[in-house]
Copies of this chain bind each other. A is one copy, B any other.
Amino acid sequence: MGSEGTLGVITEVTLRIYPLPEAVSAAICSFPTIADAVTTVIQTIQIGVPIARVELIDGNSVRAVNQYAKLSLREEPMLLMEFHGSPAGVKEQAEVVQEIAREHSGADFEWADTPEERTRLWTARHNAYFAAVQSRPGCRCITTDTCVPISRLADALLDTVAEADESGIPYFLVGHVGDGNFHVGYLIDPDDDDERARAEALNHRVVQRAIALQGTCTGEHGVGLHKMGFLIDEAGAGAVAMMRTIKQALDPDNIMNPGKVFAL
């Protein structure tokens, strides 16, 4: 886990199968600010509601998705949630979260109980990347992902948003916020070297902030090539040296995804 192909290749996989939940219900909820949305998520997780999915998309993403998919969602930060369990359990979870959301100026939940309705609601999330990229014709998207402990999520997200707003570079933000994981995409003009450099600098600050908050430099995209330096910042030179020792022991000829995660 986490070796990114540098220690082996998978030749056989056994899956553990879980039953489908008896009841599944999805809801969206808009908030006037990202702070309100994130605080709702943090309190939901900390109170122990076993929410199955909770995704955040910011107002910029909603605006782009409305144009891209001809939707008319409120152009504000939005949480997309899914609840799994028994019918009464799902209802109870949702009531608790709606109550927390209301305390943070959240709108009334919009519900989806059938698979078709759920797909419609989740469209906004699934299209967010493509919609954002199309919102600035000819742009290139520079993205990052980081993950922080849920208790530090507001600090991580709000400073990221403030810096992105200040930069004037178009951007969007989406996140698997229930896990403390989020992505920022900066939509840059590929011919504008200055803009690219500023986006990369913003990107670095997002990651450095996550590490300072005891988070990780990558939630799911991986270290690969681009975050090799950050891995050292995060884990320390000693830990990376230990990873290198394991790599050399298991792959002495360096044939498995060579050159990734750390330099040999």
Contacts and interface: CB of A to CB of B under 8 A. Distances in A.
Interface of A: 16, 18-22, 46-48, 50, 85-86, 88-89, 92-93, 96, 149, 242, 245-246, 248-250
Contact of A88 (B20, B22, B88, B249): B88
B246 A242 contact: no
A246 B18 CA distance: 33
Contacts of A246: 246, 249-250
A248 B85 CA distance: 47
19 contacts: A18-B48, A19-B46, A19-B47, A19-B48, A20-B48, A21-B48, A50-B50, A50-B85, A86-B89, A86-B92, A86-B93, A86-B96, A88-B88, A88-B89, A88-B92, A89-B89, A89-B92, A242-B250, A245-B250
Copy tally for this chain in the complex stands at 2
Nearest to A249: B249
A23 to B, nearest CB: 11
A153 to B, nearest CB: 14
A129 to B, nearest CB: 30
A86 B88 CA distance: 10
A242 B20 CA distance: 37
Contact of A249 (B89, B92, B245): B245
Nearest to A88: B88
Chain B CB within 10 Å, residue with most, of A20, A21, A48, A250: A48
Given A246-B250, A248-B249, 14 more contacts: A16-B149, A19-B46, A19-B47, A19-B48, A20-B48, A21-B48, A85-B89, A86-B92, A86-B93, A86-B96, A88-B88, A88-B89, A89-B89, A245-B249
Contacts of A47: 19
A158 B23 CA distance: 34
Contacts of A22: 48
A18 B250 CA distance: 37
Contacts of A19: 46-48
Nearest to A8: B242
A248 B245 CA distance: 10
Contacts of A89: 85-86, 88-89, 92
Chain B CB within 10 Å, residue with most, of A47, A86, A88: A86
Nearest to A151: B17
A47 B17 CA distance: 11
A231 to B, nearest CB: 18
